[in-house]
Structure 1
Amino acid sequence: MKLKASKDQNVFLTLEYLLQFEWLNTVLNFKVGRQKSNSVLSGRFASRLRGRGLDFEEARPYVIGDDIRKIDWRVTAKTGVTHTKVFTEEKEKPAFIFVDQSPTMGFGSVSKTKAVVAGELASIAAYKILKGGDRVGGLVFKGDTYDLITPKRDQRNVLQFLQKIVDANAEIYNQKSFDYETKLKDMISKLQNIITHDYIVLIISDFYRYNPETIKYMSMLSQHNDVILIKLFDPMEEELPDDKLTLTNDIKQISLLKQRKRVVQELKVDFESNYEAFKKEIEKYNISLFKINTVDPIEEQLIQVFTQYNAPGKI
């Protein structure tokens, strides 16, 4: 089965289109090799359960050898028979998905824009997490403002989240200018009241404006949560075409002739060095990062990424 997108849906999302990605939950198998516990699509988590709590399951009659600290005195008093509490380990791993729908995400040189691919990834992740039985919510970043969906274990909550992405995407080219650093601080302060500990935090963005402040806030989230970054990029951002180039800023326009090859090479080196520097910096805080482009089928890229990340020696 192949996902179908109309020409318009390569630029503007619809809820009907995003709902198509629910099938990837069952068709694709991300459990390749040894499972990396902070993989966003790995379903239930069997390792690195940071500070897992215990859920009360039942009270049963006391047996010699049971821990007397777990005696259920209320049930014991009611029944006249000593009972002890039985607990099971809580394995819930709630997830929070940050989806960037700010103006820079509206770029796409071949088919889809970065914003459209971000919506696809958010839909895949949300359904995978919900099917695993965990709570999922998210934040849709719209540049000058944002929409916040609190994590719930509810299909309607996922639909509301996806609709917010669609709404933001529809206005991506009409957004006002904004102060990124100020908005980032505002968002993080609100997120810290929601994302407490033991969350998966998935951040989908082009990280066009990342700076020391951005890394600082992500490192704070990673102290008690598993943070995963997906960097979206368009091939033209990685490497300009080897043709005549005309650059403009809406005021001035220049054509590159003699300097074209040098500019193309320098931009390619700059893209790669920036990515590697960013990756090296965030990995200091045990934050995972990988790239997804706007051209190749999303399911094929995810298979490749998680095969690589879950292979022996990649943990």
Structure 2
Amino acid sequence: MNNANSFPSQIFTSLKELLGMERHAQFFSLIARKQKVKSILGGRHESKLRGRGLDFEETRHYVQGDDIRNIDWKVTARTRETHTRVFTEEKEKPAMIVVDQTNSMFFGSKSRTKSVVAAELAAIAAFRVLKQGDRVGGIVFSDDGIDIIQPKRDRRNILRFLEKVVNRNHDLAKPHSTDYQDTLKEVSKKVRNIVTHDYLVVLISDFHRYSPDVTRFISQIAQHNDVVLVKVFDPLERDIPKIKFVAGDFDTQVTVDGGKKTLRSSFQTGFDEDFQSFSAQMKKHRVPIISLDTVVPIDEQMKSVFKKARK
């Protein structure tokens, strides 16, 4: 394998960089809870009982059979009617973070590759879930294989997950020829074996191939779990420059004449229509989609995303 350390950090990530992402994990939440936190999944939290405590929900009139220990004496004295405090049990929302490190993610035109951005977000999400007290695990899939870290409420578990992400990220230096659909089928099988119900599933990918298999896999998981999709894209995938240039991968090179307005327009329209169609399908299954690019720092983008989510 090529030495990834010989490449700029924007192309390959490192364990040090991913551990540093923890500083961005305190400003948002992917899980909807009763606490006042910014969340993408507003009001969708239905999950297994954690059994570690109680959250105050409301005060209401006392009815026969209520526990007298929960009587709210202050409200009772003020209203001269007996009121009781109602609590809900604190709940668990284990999380599985699925991160794409296949060959299509190994692309970036200005700042970082999609694979690096995906790795950064996976780290932020993992630290955020752990800070909320829930179990977190992950699945890293590449063209060469799949790594599975079972959910645990353990910081060392996150370290193992991030190590797998880094290893798969560095393997992108090698050429690959694995069929993506075969990889996807294997990934979906692994996820369904672990994620039964009441999970949070964060799927980070470029969703470069909007196939029926992708849609079917996501819709099946979303039936009994909360799913958040994060699409990582590079601006060049939508807006080609107004110059003639050569693009290629390990096997093929093509010349693109960006000076042709019709070509640029067709490129933009194709990108937008594909994504809009995919978004519409996901909306039917109540699956939110976050879009992140490879240029703007990830913390700035996340703050913008959750600022919009609050409105």
Shorter-chain TM-score bucket reads 0.7 to 0.9
Q: Is the 8 A contact 2:32 2:44 kept in 1?
A: no
Which residue does the alignment assign to 1:60?
A: none
What residue number does 1:292 align with?
A: 292
Q: Is the CA contact (8 Å cut-off) linking 1:140 and 1:148 kept in structure 2?
A: yes
Conserved 8 A contact 1:52-1:89 = no
Question: For the Cα contact (< 8 Å) 2:47–2:91, is it kept in 1?
Answer: no
Residue of structure 1 in register with 2:301 after alignment: 301
Question: Is 1:49 aligned to residue 45 of structure 2?
Answer: yes
3-state SS in 2 of match to 1:137: strand
Q: Provide the TM-score with structure 1 as the length reference.
A: 0.78
The answer (yes or no) to whether the contact 2:98–2:204 under 8 Å persists in 1 is yes
Counterpart of 1:200, as a letter, is L
Query: What's the secondary structure of 2:274's corresponding residue?
Result: helix
Partner amino acid for 2:21? F
Instruction: Give the secondary structure class of the aligned counterpart of 2:172.
Output: coil
Contact 1:245 / 1:260 at 8 angstroms: preserved in 2?
A: no
For residues 226-260 of structure 1, the C-alpha deviation after alignment (integer angstroms, 9 at most, x for no partner) is 11111000110010011223455755644537x72
Distance in 1, Cα, partners of 2:119 & 2:38: 19
Q: Corresponding residue for 1:214?
A: 214
Which residue does 1:93 correspond to in 2?
93
Opposite residue 23 of structure 1, the aligned amino acid is R
The superposition leaves residues 86-125 of structure 1 with CA deviations (integer Å, 9 ceiling, x where unpaired) of x972411111101100011010000100000001101111
CA contact (8 A) 1:144 1:175 kept: no
SS at match of 2:193: coil
Tell me the distance in 2 between the aligned counterparts of 1:42 and 1:143: 35
Which residue, 25, 30, 39 being the options, matches 2:28?
30
* Mapped pair 1:135 → 2:131: no
In structure 1, the partner of 2:105 is: 105
Superposition deviation, residue 264 in structure 1: 1.1
| Equivalent position SS for 2:173 | coil
- Contact 2:95–2:135 (CA<8 Å) still a contact in 1? yes
* Alpha-carbon contact 1:99-1:119 (below 8 Å) kept: yes
Match of 1:256 in 2: 257
Distance 1:150 1:269, change over 3 A: same
Alpha-carbon distance change, 231 to 92 in structure 1, aligned in 2, over 3 angstroms? same
Give the deviation of 1:149 after TM superposition: 0.5
Taking structure 1 as reference, are residues 291 and 51 closer, same or farther at Cα in structure 2, changes over 3 Å only?
Answer: closer
Unaligned runs of 5+ in 1: 1-5, 58-63, 68-86
Match of 1:201 in 2: 201
Who is 2:162 aligned against? 162
Asked whether the equivalents of residues 201 and 226 of structure 2 are also in contact (C-alpha less than 8 Å), the reply is yes
Q: Kindly tell me: are residues 252 and 215 of structure 1, through their superposed partners in 2, closer, same or farther at Cα, counting changes over 3 Å? A: closer
Count of matched residue pairs:
273
Sequence identity of aligned pairs in percent?
Answer: 41
Q: Over aligned residues, Cα RMSD in angstroms?
A: 2.9
Match of 2:71 in 1: none
Matches within 5 A, 1:2-21: 8-21=8-21
Moved more, 104-113 or 47-56: 47-56
Give 1:187's aligned residue: 187
What amino acid maps onto 1:256 in structure 2?
A: D
Matched-pair contact (CA < 8 Å) for 2:103–2:176: no
SS of equivalent residue, structure 1 residue 150: strand
Compared with structure 1, are the counterparts of its residues 145 and 53 closer, same or farther at alpha carbon in structure 2 (3 Å cutoff)? same
C-alpha change, 1:275 and 1:133, in structure 2 (3 Å) is same
- Call closer, same or farther: CA 1:110–1:54 in 2, change over 3 Å: closer
Q: Which 4+ residue blocks in structure 1 deviate beyond 3 angstroms?
A: 45-49, 51-57, 64-67, 245-255
**Matching residue of 1:237:** 237
Determine whether 1:223 maps to 2:223. Answer: yes
For 2:294 and 2:275, the matched residues in 1 are separated by 17
Change in 2 beyond 3 A, CA 1:162/1:42: farther
TM-score, scaled to structure 2: 0.79
The 2-side partners of 1:130 and 1:252 are apart by 44
Equivalences for 1:268-287 in 2 at 5 Å? 268-287=268-287
Structure 2 residues not aligned, in runs of 5+: 1-5, 54-63, 68-86
Q: Is the 8 A contact 1:138 1:150 kept in 2?
A: yes
How far apart in 1 are the matches of 2:271 and 2:195? 32
